[in-house]
Structure 1
Amino acid sequence: MSAKEPPAKNFPLLSLPDLAQKTVMDIMKVLEKYKLSTLSKRSRKMIKMSCPLGSYQLEILASSIFICFNLSDPRENDQFDEMLILELREDDDTFPPFQEGAIVRPHQNYQETVPAEIRLLFEVFNKPVTRIFLIEHTPLIEDITRLMGVLEHKLTLVCAGTGRQNDQAFMQVMQQCNPVTKRLEMYYDINQGSTFDLTNIAPFTYDQLLISNSQWLSFPQIISHFMDCKHLHLRWFREESNGLPAFLERWMEGCAMEHVNFSIRWPIQLRMILEEMRVEHTVVDVSDYKIPNREIFKPREQPPAPPITTFIIRRRCNGQETLISQNGFQFFLSTNCRLLTEEEKLNPVEDFTDWDLSQNPFNGVMERGENFRIVGGGGGGGRVVVDQNSDSDDWGGRVDTDDSDSSGW
């Protein structure tokens, strides 16, 4: 490994010396020993660790949500270069909002190590990695989609782009990912005024699809190409509300869509629309209902507020009861809702969002577990030392580089 070229700019984890790789794996195995998934979601806690790897500094951020490896040269004034960030979840049904501050920009030749990196995490944690984050990844998309096609795990691919050729890359990713993954989140700066011709494109069949910049979409395009997406979340959707009745009519006839959320350009008279469609509906108190994945449908352009209009409507195709609500410009539909039990009403569960965690990521401690330290570390080596006698409950996940120094904190 050349001293002039940080390995993070060439190859990530697998390019490190053997001892450095062992150090990282030891840290990860300790994290697994304390079961990251046992962290209370309501605690919003995170672990931060750092240790030297030769002339470089390795920083690991870990929570029950994701693990991020950063590698930097402390002799430089540059920020940490993100090497890899993967999300680990045991509940594959969750679809949390992706926070823009947690993205990673792949380095050159990244496609050569992504498969090995992901499989390495599979082996260490023995659980699925549920999300892969990529930015400016157009040259890599074929490698990533090929990898996702052969993996047996369910993966959400999170893609973002900020370059001039976003429009072409955006539709390329949308098409190529559809056959190999059922969960896709798209964060692209679509050029203002851009339009996409979907005539020769097959309808999308994602289980979960989030598009952060959907101003190019229209109701006819949603009806023709997105009705078989089970969970659809459109941000900055600015279509006129007069297209909503046609969308609801198509949905009432039968489709795979279970959840949808979008904004429209003008406030809607939802009651009037439903009455004109002769839809059987009943006004209910939304606070009495349990709505899975409701966190992803909180308005992003305005402060959250109780829905102005809420209905339970009966679907024509199968008689299924569905919650529909309107909050100003926001429209929300969910087929997977149910009345809260008396116990749930008395003991409400606090909602958890990644946003809350990202606002204060380094304040947490492990709820239980022994202290551990990384000792040694010179020349990329090191070993994990677990303090079996520690009774402290205030453990911050610190990795000490020696017996007296606690660099990185």
Structure 2
Amino acid sequence: MPRLPRLFPRPRLRSTAALCTTLSALAAISLCTGPSVAEPFSAAPCALQRTDAHHSEGLDTWNTAYPRPTRTLDAVMVFLSFPDWAPMTSPAELAADHFPATSRFFQQASYGRFALRAHPLRQWIRMPKPSTAYRIQRDWNAGHRAAYLRDALAAADGRVDFSRYDVVYFVADPDAPGVNSDATKVVNLDVPLHADGTDIRRVVTVFEKHPPDRLVLAHETGHVFDLPDLYHRPADGKGDWDTYVGDWDLMGSQFALAPDLFGWHKWKLGWLEPRQVVCVRSVGPTRLTLEPLGAGPGVPVTGASGSPAFGLGHGTKLAVVRTGADTALAFEARGPVGNDRAACRSGILVYRVSADAQSGRGPVEVIDAHPGAEACWESSVYPPLADAPVALGESFTVPGDGVRVEAEGRTASGAWTVKITPASLKR
């Protein structure tokens, strides 16, 4: 991927038949779209319908194969060592690489509506084979991957009650000779694993070096919540990976300057109230006030006067224009607030959402309001999109769709006043 401890239960005896049933499920590991089971989510006219695309950006229903992060979820971290290497770090050090940073990211992104609670084991779990035996790599052979998961589950099962956890992280010794840090990913299971009376539909396999890439575990955990990869993977593996969204969402790059999740993703995950999303219909120009996406209760925002302003967090965060059966344009205010505190530019960010696009194949594409220019070349993951937002006082017409957006002003509290004009009424 581009780059509060709890004592574990005492070991329990498991029946041989139960363990064999659990491990036999590993023969059918692959990426999957998930079952068709869904629960109603939003009936808003601009809520694209969920399609069969893997991690579809449709949000009219929630795919119940994934845990919905609208409550406290518990995650277990299992640390795996190998007989061909003596660990040079401790489980506590590796846990600290990812927590509390990952939990803080989601707490901020969700405006406090979701808490990810980590439960790292306090000792290494020994794998039965050398690290080199599993042939760990980015595009992992399914057979070797299945063997790794089978052995990890069997080794940990006596020490972990998996029924107590919503998310499972298998964290490998980063210094073992067979461990490849580029192989960190979420493994989705067509046939779920079964342990301790619960189904395990996906596992986060962590192979990160110590210290790891910034926010890498938050990116991978996003997949556990049905969010897609937003980066572009070049066909030959060479070239730029960040052409779709640049710095504007963690699911594009964990190195992003503005890694807060798109407003569309916050809507999908249930972190925005229906009243915080405005569907712009083609009945005339629409004027609205957009709060900075990262602003939440108690988060300081720079007001129009340049001094700190408070009190934002419950107003409109996202405006949407439906452009087709499976496509929409989204508009949100971005700037150096909350998770976006290192953002390169402030303004109204415009992006296209495609519900039928597969993960990694452009389900979201940021529209550049300043084509031909770039910014923050020394720190941005993709400088051509670092200055993508429509700045204060500017207007911009979306190529191909003809929708016009004008960033007319700022309120005293720091919100943005915006006018959006559909193509048929554009002047």
Same fold (TM over 0.5): no
TM range (shorter): under 0.3
Alignment TM-score, normalising by the size of structure 2 = 0.26
* Bigger fraction of residues in helix: 1
Alignment TM-score, normalising by the size of structure 1 = 0.27
Structure whose alpha-carbon radius of gyration is higher: 1
